[in-house]
Amino acid sequence: MADPKFAPENFRQILGSGYALVRSIETNKAISALTMDHLIQAHIDSLKQSTTRASQIVDDSGKSLGDRISRWDQIDEIEKLFTKAVQALKDAGNSSEKLANLGIVEATEEKQKDTP
């Protein structure tokens, strides 16, 4: 006697259920293999990506848009500029002239200049 569940009208459901079972097993294996170390390393790699990938970006006419620096280099550049700014501020000290050259003027000095 034939199994009533294996009727032609149930064929797609049987195939779908089998496929879902196989895919869920594969997904569970992939998720269980993923660790925090893998995620951290992937993020570090994305920060340190080279500029060669960006040079492949072209406009509609096929002309290269040039190189784009990586996020790691952008962060490094910001850190260098910030360090220079802090050092310049330290070197200026309390000198009004040096602070004015840096574009930093105390509010009281600006108010005194604005009033006649």
pTM equals: 0.42
Domain count, the chain: 2
Q: Give yes or no: residues 37 and 72 share one domain.
A: no
CA distance 90 to 70: 30
Give the C-alpha separation, 39 to 36, whole Å. 5
Within a domain: 89 = yes
CA distances from 24 to 88, 95, 108 (A): 59, 69, 68
pLDDT in tens, 39-68: 888 777 777 765 544 445 667 787 776 666
* 78 and 116, same domain (yes or no): yes
Q: Does some domain include residue 58?
A: no
> 1-28: per-residue pLDDT in tens?
567 677 778 888 888 999 999 999 998 8
| Percent of the chain residues past pLDDT 90, beyond the cut | 17
Q: Residue 28 is encoded by which pair of tokens?
A: 């569970």
Mean pLDDT to the nearest integer, 89-114? 73
Residue 6: inside a domain: yes
Measure the CA–CA gap between 55 and 67, rounded to whole angstroms.
5
Q: Is residue 63 within 8 Å of residue 71, measured between CB atoms?
A: no
62 inside domain? no
8 lies in which domain range? 1-42
